[in-house]
Structure 1
Amino acid sequence: MKLVKLVKLRCLFSTLSKPTSKTNLIITNPVLLTLESCTSMTHLTQIQAHMTRTGLIFHTFPVSRLLTFSALSHFANLKHACKLFNQVSNPNIYIWNVMLRGFFKHHFYVKGLSFFREMVRKRVSFDEKSFVFGLKCCFKGLRAGESVHCLVLRHGFGWDLVVRNGLVHFYGEVGRVQSARKVFDEMCEGVRDVVTWSSLINVYVKSGMVDEGLRVFEMMKGCGVGVNEVTMIAVFGACAKKGDLELGRSVHDYVEKMSVNKSLNLMNSVLDMYVKCGCLVTAKEVFEGMGIKDVFSWTSMINGYAKNGELVMAKKMFDEMPERNIVSWNAMIAGYSQNNKPKEAIELFHEMENIGLVPIETTLVCVLSACAQAGCLDLGQWMYSYYVKRNRIQLTATLGNAFIDMYAKCGNIDAAVELFNEMAEKDLVSWNSLIVGFASHGHAVKALSLFEEMRELGYKPDEITFVGVLSACSHGGLLTQGRSYFKEMEMTYGLKPTLEHYACMIDLLGRIGHLDEAYGLLKEMPMEPDKAVWGAVLNACRMHGNLELGKLATEKLIELDPNDSGIYVLMESLCAARSKWDEVKMVRSMMKGNGVKKTPGRSSIEVEGEFHEFLAADKSHPLSERIYKVLGEIISLSRLEDASDANCVCIAKNDVQSSLELISID
């Protein structure tokens, strides 16, 4: 097929007659018409060969068209374009700009910036497009962009609308909001167009300054400037970030009244706004009313249902998707993980792998969270070995933090420490993860030592840091340090204690028997105590036999959650320890009267990548008969062993009977 096309091209070239004037040669030569219909680099090189043979390539217009196709078409080859450019003896500004644009389009920002500097050195006469693409090639390099800005002023383009719009966009990309606003303010009101206003709104929204972005939108309407879909996408993004449903509805009504092109991108932003504002009913109406949907549309709905805990609907949407990408899979895996469904998240990850879809960093972070919940250390270790050690995925701070959290929660604190020490890039979350990990493993001194090291390196602790620190003090019984850190939170760092911090302090005081002080702190709290706070009080009462305060804590906990069987069990244990058998009967009666059943014991295990869950008094697993048979044999053998033999591992009868109840698999 390619050979046929080449033969046709040669035939066409052979029939071309020589034009009678240079102007006609440039404008009307049929080769240029052939060039416009070119569809591949093979065709392009054939045309270039003919142009070289006939001398057409030495004329500015034909070579500029040839270069445009080489650098910017869908089959572009920038290496070929560079070779062609180097053969042009005296390129005009259009040709320079084509190359600059080509570097940007193909993401060769450094080469593009170097090319722009070459233009400066050769004193090329810039036009507005040169500066626009020069700024784009700066990407997120602030100094380079500021240098281009200086050149803009030096060459007299400071008041050009297109260049000004490019500067607003650039400063927004590098996070210099004030510089973007300054460029905007220096423009005369009548000079600004819809691109100017939309760019500034987008700058504010991306920087998290949504209220200021919305104020600019109101200013824009007040100046009588018409909006377009880009404007409204930015405004809907602001509404989504604020989570302001009422505002979002009013903006949606405004769009319906205005003659704004309701493109797929705009409707996706409307859908995303309703999802993030928690209005799934309207989001579904918008979704169903969309004539065209893409992967983003479907994924938005999956995210919405998952975040609302409606996992059945989320999975239904996922299964009905005509096309899925990695973002869709991530959304569903994250939905399961965030809703405490680690088994389903891990199974979906394996399904994704089986169809050959390659995970990205976000995928691993979601799956590692599921591993942490389920205790799947083997899978987590395999992911590190397969994806990180083999350099399939770069170990960023975010991914490293997820691994540290997984190792700590799966009981391998040594691996968490080793990874933390190896990480080239750390952030506050990295330190927090290991501090919390040390605390949960009872390594109070190590947690506090790490905290002090973190502070010495200049990291400013946040609320999560102090949850880890106070939890470490609680587990280690470090009352003096706990009191000191609790005060330091607000006095040194301006962090007001939250419910979690109060729960940690009350737990610390309760564990070491300071129940009066713990209850006193509870009464001083500026907010209503939650389950964690009252739970810490009840647990302390059980430990130290304070029946009176325990009753109060139980009453408060039942008010907060009457269906939590753990509350009744703790209170029953407290009463039994004090031989208050009438009280025990009363608690059991209350539990029965409220229709509360004791939550069966549950544990899980991962064997060769397969996730197994164990429930008390359940024999639904297909291998349960064999499991119980093996366990029975172990019990029989244990009874025959000599309890005095030091080399023997004995299992006490009561422990074995308990194991029989807990061995069943769901």
Structure 2
Amino acid sequence: MKKPLLLRVAVYSPYHLQHHKSLYSASLSPHQTKWNSKTNVIITHPTLAVMESCSSMNQLRQIQARMTLTGLITHTFPLSRLLAFCALSEAGDLRYARRLFSRIPQPNTFMWNTIIRGYNKGRNPATAFSFFILMLRHRVPFDPRTFVFALKACENFSTAPQGESVHSLARKTGFDSELLVRNGLVHFYAARGWLNHARGVFDEMSVKDVVTWTTMIDGYAACNCSDVAMELFGLMLEGDVEPNEVTLIAVLSACSQKGDLGMGKMIHEIMEKNNARWGLSLHNALLDMYVKCGSLVAAREVFDGMESRDVFSWTSMVNGYAKCGDLESARKFFEQTPQKNVVCWSAMIAGYSQNDKPEDSLKLFHEMLGQGFVPVEHTLVSVLSASGQLSCLSAGHWIHHYFVDGIRIPLTVTLANAIIDMYAKCGSIDAAAEVFSAMSERNLVSWNSMIAGYASNGRAKQAVEVFDQMKCLGFKPDDITFVSLLTACSHGGLVSQGQEYFDSMERNYEIKPKKEHYACVVDLLGRNGLVEEAYKLITNMPIQPCEAAWGALLSACRKYGNVELANLSASNLLSSDPEDSGVYVLLANICAKERKWGDVRRVRSLMRDKGVKKIPGRSLVEIDGEFKEFLVADESHPQSEEIYRVLDEIFMLSKLED
């Protein structure tokens, strides 16, 4: 009978230990990381001890040669360690592992598990699963880890039959009673988004550990079921199961989705009470939660207290300050980020775009390209939005054709929607329609963008046609759809049709009209001379009229010379913003048009008394990629005389067209 390997290898002379130490140190550079393999066996043999610190295939081959010379390779355990290094180490070689495995006369369960695990790690699930099938055919005994590794391979298949067959086999062989296998099943179903199946396995388990609870909570959080995730976390705590770091990260993710600052603070308290050295990932999750819940003061405290930070930590702060409109602080954090990545650049670009700073957004985008960063989808969506805000067709057109048509970035539904919106805002509605028509997949945002594009470009008929197509294809309109549709009717003079759409919102679609919808109908009536009806609608609204409604009525009063309602509209607008110079100017112009000179003097006197100054009108024009700004009566440009002469000629030509 052979002695156990552990006893046999302990009798080797000190020479062997010294020999293998020099072999190891000769080939290991000070910058290489040792292989931190996991085994519960106490290793005393010098060759095996050196192999546990192996860091390259070159070293492994030398060790394997030594094992062959000494006969150590004929023993199961040393051979399994060779295989494990080749299959699982970062410095390993999976093809070498397969050749080694194929030469083993009777590989045991651990070796089969190792090769399956290796192919999973190498992102080759089909081969990993094929080895599981071979185990079954060769009647190799399974253990719980076999099923876990097989299920891990099944997570990456496009269909689910393989995973369900593994579940069925585990049930037939009795392994489904093992906690490890049940945890693997919960993870498999949760990873595929099959939460009902995962919960079914979870609820059947009489014994659950922290991995079980965490897997189920993380599954719900990943599928945006934050309420259920947090409810499950509460049950976990009631069951006296101590959460680990992964649990807390999953719950913080759910808090971020729901905006539940209270639960997020509770997690923070748990972290502080445990007084453990929590990892960077958990601190980043906590930071992200505070940012997404709008608690920037708490986020800054967490950030300042972090022992280490990565680009995610800095980007979270950039995002937080940008979203609350504090672009100066956002830019400060952006500039201080030690190693920026494309996500960090995109966060700052989006911050400018979303806070009405499109010029800065485009400028930073060009800086990013100049530093060699390749934009991602989120970057382009923000820059396309900035191009639309500026009506900068050349920039938007270049982004579309260079990055999307050039197949540098895949055209997703989100990106296509952004392109449609950009073209529509730049007045190139036919280009927007072309992109829309070519889309193989559309969502509600796609339809809304196209309806809004036609509405803003004065094509009411086409907007209505798109709306009808949308309904025929089974898309249900939302409140944004009706804002665009009512705007189209307003611009197209479709009064009765617009009123019918407004009336159908609640009746047919269960959408309660908001302030924006009432403002659209006020504009619809006012533009078409029904000023009194527009005012009547405002006074009978079940909600407080917004500034847009009063503004629409004031514009209608200007067009149709209703001074009385103009004064009333202006009064309501100025009560919310007494320093809006545009309201004073518009009211004065209405009074002047109707020759109410006393009212004109009264409005101008009121402006002087309140210290309100008229903001001069300005225009932007793009020339060779640069934006030139012009104010009313601006003569600062060296060619201003020539510019005004051309403008006069254009004005005269427009009069002739009328």
TM range (shorter): 0.7 to 0.9
Letter in 2 for 1:607: I
| Equivalent residues of 2:495, 2:525 under 8 A apart | yes
* RMSD between superposed Cα atoms in Å: 3.0
Letter in 1 for 2:511: L
Deviation at 1:50, TM superposition (A): 6.3
Deviation at 1:313, TM superposition (A): 0.6
Deviation at 1:541, TM superposition (A): 1.9
Deviation at 1:27, TM superposition (A): 8.0
**Partners of 2:187 and 2:293 in 1: how far apart?**
28
Give the counterpart of 1:422 among 424, 438, 441: 438
**Partners of 1:452 and 1:376 in 2: how far apart?**
31
Which residue of structure 2 aligns with residue 223 of structure 1? 239
Deviation at 1:332, TM superposition (A): 0.7
Give the counterpart of 1:181 among 199, 202, 219: 199
| Equivalent residues of 1:229, 1:261 under 8 A apart | no
Deviation at 1:57, TM superposition (A): 5.6
Structure 1 pair 122/513, CA: closer, same or farther in 2 (3 Å)? farther
Deviation at 1:9, TM superposition (A): 7.7
Which residue of structure 2 aligns with residue 245 of structure 1? 261
Does 1:167 find its partner at 2:179?
Answer: no
Letter in 1 for 2:54: C
Does 1:143 find its partner at 2:134?
Answer: no
Which residue of structure 1 aligns with residue 341 of structure 2? 325
Which residue of structure 1 aligns with residue 599 of structure 2? 583
**Partners of 1:373 and 1:404 in 2: how far apart?**
13
Q: How does 1:390-469 map to 2 (within 5 A)?
A: 390-469=406-485
Which residue of structure 2 aligns with residue 523 of structure 1? 539
Deviation at 1:650, TM superposition (A): 5.8
Structure 1 pair 445/286, CA: closer, same or farther in 2 (3 Å)? same
Does 1:269 find its partner at 2:281?
Answer: no
Q: Compute the TM-score of the two structures, normalised by the length of structure 2.
A: 0.87
**Partners of 1:94 and 1:447 in 2: how far apart?**
65
**Partners of 1:51 and 1:385 in 2: how far apart?**
60
**Partners of 1:559 and 1:177 in 2: how far apart?**
53
| Equivalent residues of 1:142, 1:174 under 8 A apart | no
Deviation at 1:211, TM superposition (A): 2.6
| Equivalent residues of 2:252, 2:289 under 8 A apart | yes
Letter in 1 for 2:187: H
Does 1:554 find its partner at 2:561?
Answer: no
Structure 1 pair 463/85, CA: closer, same or farther in 2 (3 Å)? farther
Range with bigger deviation, 138-147 or 148-157: 138-147
Deviation at 1:120, TM superposition (A): 4.3
Deviation at 1:341, TM superposition (A): 0.4
% identity of equivalent residues:
52
Deviation at 1:316, TM superposition (A): 0.7
Q: Compute the TM-score of the two structures, normalised by the length of structure 1.
A: 0.86
Deviation at 1:513, TM superposition (A): 1.9
**Partners of 1:223 and 1:369 in 2: how far apart?**
49
Give the counterpart of 1:626 among 617, 632, 638: 638
Does the residue aligned with 1:603 lie in a helix, a strand or coil? strand
**Partners of 1:618 and 1:274 in 2: how far apart?**
47
| Equivalent residues of 2:553, 2:569 under 8 A apart | yes
| Equivalent residues of 1:227, 1:260 under 8 A apart | no
Range with bigger deviation, 60-69 or 275-284: 60-69
Range with bigger deviation, 149-158 or 397-406: 149-158
Which residue of structure 2 aligns with residue 290 of structure 1? 306
Structure 1 pair 162/595, CA: closer, same or farther in 2 (3 Å)? farther
Range with bigger deviation, 468-477 or 123-132: 123-132
Does the residue aligned with 1:626 lie in a helix, a strand or coil? coil
Structure 1 pair 364/653, CA: closer, same or farther in 2 (3 Å)? closer
Cα deviation digits, residues 340-394 of structure 1 (max 9, x gap):
1011111111111111111111111111111111122111111122211221111
**Partners of 2:479 and 2:131 in 1: how far apart?**
48
**Partners of 2:148 and 2:562 in 1: how far apart?**
74
Does 1:613 find its partner at 2:625?
Answer: no
Structure 1 pair 242/88, CA: closer, same or farther in 2 (3 Å)? same
Range with bigger deviation, 447-456 or 211-220: 211-220
| Equivalent residues of 1:229, 1:260 under 8 A apart | no
Structure 1 pair 225/542, CA: closer, same or farther in 2 (3 Å)? same
**Partners of 1:152 and 1:533 in 2: how far apart?**
66
Letter in 2 for 1:614: F
Structure 1 pair 552/108, CA: closer, same or farther in 2 (3 Å)? farther
**Partners of 2:465 and 2:654 in 1: how far apart?**
42
**Partners of 1:507 and 1:280 in 2: how far apart?**
39
Which residue of structure 2 aligns with residue 644 of structure 1? none
Deviation at 1:611, TM superposition (A): 3.5
Structure 1 pair 573/650, CA: closer, same or farther in 2 (3 Å)? closer
Does the residue aligned with 2:481 lie in a helix, a strand or coil? helix
Cα deviation digits, residues 456-515 of structure 1 (max 9, x gap):
222222222222222211111112221222232222222222222222222112211223
Deviation at 1:618, TM superposition (A): 5.6
**Partners of 1:491 and 1:81 in 2: how far apart?**
68
Range with bigger deviation, 436-445 or 162-171: 162-171
Range with bigger deviation, 290-299 or 479-488: 479-488
| Equivalent residues of 1:372, 1:406 under 8 A apart | yes
**Partners of 1:553 and 1:297 in 2: how far apart?**
49
| Equivalent residues of 1:479, 1:508 under 8 A apart | yes
**Partners of 1:501 and 1:78 in 2: how far apart?**
62
**Partners of 2:429 and 2:594 in 1: how far apart?**
38
Structure 1 pair 39/632, CA: closer, same or farther in 2 (3 Å)? same
| Equivalent residues of 2:214, 2:250 under 8 A apart | yes
Cα deviation digits, residues 271-301 of structure 1 (max 9, x gap):
2222122221222112111111111111111
**Partners of 2:516 and 2:25 in 1: how far apart?**
79
Deviation at 1:333, TM superposition (A): 0.7
Does the residue aligned with 1:411 lie in a helix, a strand or coil? coil
Does 1:91 find its partner at 2:103?
Answer: no
Letter in 1 for 2:97: A
Cα deviation digits, residues 304-358 of structure 1 (max 9, x gap):
1111111001101111111211111111111111101011111111111111111
Which residue of structure 2 aligns with residue 76 of structure 1? 92
Q: Between Structure 1 and Structure 2, how many residues are aligned?
A: 620
Any unmatched runs of 5+ in structure 1?
A: 13-25, 639-648, 656-666
Letter in 1 for 2:524: L
Deviation at 1:437, TM superposition (A): 0.6
Give the counterpart of 1:157 among 175, 183, 191: 175
Q: How does 1:57-68 map to 2 (within 5 A)?
A: 60-68=76-84
Does 1:108 find its partner at 2:119?
Answer: no
Structure 1 pair 247/593, CA: closer, same or farther in 2 (3 Å)? farther
Does the residue aligned with 1:133 lie in a helix, a strand or coil? helix
Does the residue aligned with 2:418 lie in a helix, a strand or coil? helix
**Partners of 2:280 and 2:650 in 1: how far apart?**
68
Structure 1 pair 550/187, CA: closer, same or farther in 2 (3 Å)? same
Does 1:573 find its partner at 2:589?
Answer: yes
